[in-house]
Amino acid sequence: MLKFTDEHEWLKIEGDVATVGITAHAAEQLGDLVFVELPEAGTALDKGATAATVESVKAASDVYCPLDGEIVESNQAIVDDPSLVNSDPQGAGWFFKLKLSDPSAANALLDEAAYKELIA
Amino acid sequence: MDDHSPLKQTPLHALHLSLGARMVPFAGYDMPVQYPAGVMKEHLHTRAAAGLFDVSHMGQIILKPKSGRIEDAALALETLVPVDVLGLAEGRQRYGLFTNDAGGILDDLMIANRGDHLFLVVNASCKDADFAHLQKHLGDTCDLTLLDDRALIALQGPHAVAVLAELWADIATMRFMDVAEAELHDVPCIISRSGYTGEDGFEISIPSASAEDVTRRILEHPDVMPIGLGARDSLRLEAGLCLYGNDIDTGTTPVEAAFEWAMQKARRTGGARPGGFPGAETILGQFADGASRRRVGLKPDGKAPVRAGAALFADAEGKTPIGAVTSGGFGPSADHPVAMGYVDIAHTTNGTQIFAEVRGKYLPMTVAALPFITPTYKR
Q: Which residues of chain B have pLDDT under 50?
A: 1
Collapsed DSSP state (helix, strand, coil) of residue B325: strand
Task: Give one DSSP letter per residue of B217-279, joined into a string.
Answer: HHHTSTTEEE--HHHHHHHHHHTTPPPBTTTBSTTS-TTTTT-GGGS-GGGSTTSSS---STT
If phi over 0 gives left and psi between -120 and 50 gives alpha, with beta otherwise, what is residue B325?
beta
Yes or no, beta carbons of A57 and B332 under 8 Å apart: yes
Average pLDDT over residues A2-14: 96
Q: In this prediction, what percent of chain A has a pLDDT beyond 90?
A: 97
pLDDT at B1: 47
Q: Pairing state of beta strands B353-358 and B361-368?
A: antiparallel
Subunit contact A55:B230, Cβ cutoff 8 A: no
End-to-end CA distance of chain B: 39
Q: What is the pLDDT of residues A50-97, one digit of tens each?
A: 999 999 987 899 999 999 999 999 999 999 999 999 999 999 999 999
CATH class of B13-51+149-238: alpha beta
Q: Do A58 and B230 touch (CB under 8 A)?
A: yes
Residue A58, chain B, CB below 8 Å: the answer is yes
End-to-end CA distance of chain A: 22
Instruction: Report DSSP letters for B121-187, one per residue.
Output: EE-GGGHHHHHHHHHHHHTTTEEEEE-SSEEEEEEESTTHHHHHHTT-GGGGGPPTTBEEEEEETTE
> H-helix or E-strand containing A15?
none
- Strand order across the beta sheet in which A50-56 lies: A33-37, A50-56, A60-64
According to CATH, where is 2.40.30.110 located in chain B? 292-379
Nearest to B76 by CA among B130, B9, B144, B138: B138
- The CATH class, in words, for A2-102 is mainly beta
CB contacts, 8 Å: A53 with chain B: 359
- Could you tell me if B146 lies within 8 Å of chain A, comparing CB atoms? no
Q: Between the CA of residue B352 and those of A42, B364, B370, what are the distances in Å?
A: 36, 10, 14
Q: Do A58 and B332 touch (CB under 8 A)?
A: no
Q: What is the tens place of the pLDDT at every residue in B125-159?
A: 999 999 999 999 999 999 999 999 999 999 999 99
Residue of chain A nearest B331, judged by CA positions: A57
Going by the DSSP 8-state scheme, the letter that residue A104 receives in this structure is: G
State residue A59's pLDDT score.
87
Q: Does domain B292-379 have CATH number 2.40.30.110?
A: yes
- B300 near A CB under 8 A: no
Residue of chain B with shortest Cα separation from A86: B38
Q: Does A1 touch chain B (CB under 8 A)?
A: no
Q: Using a CB–CB cutoff of 8 Å, tell me whether B35 touches chain A.
A: no
Q: Tell me what pLDDT residue A58 has.
A: 79
B74: CB partners within 8 A, 6+ apart: B85, B86, B88, B113, B118
Domain with CATH 3.30.1360.120 in chain B: 13-51+149-238
Residues across chain B: 379
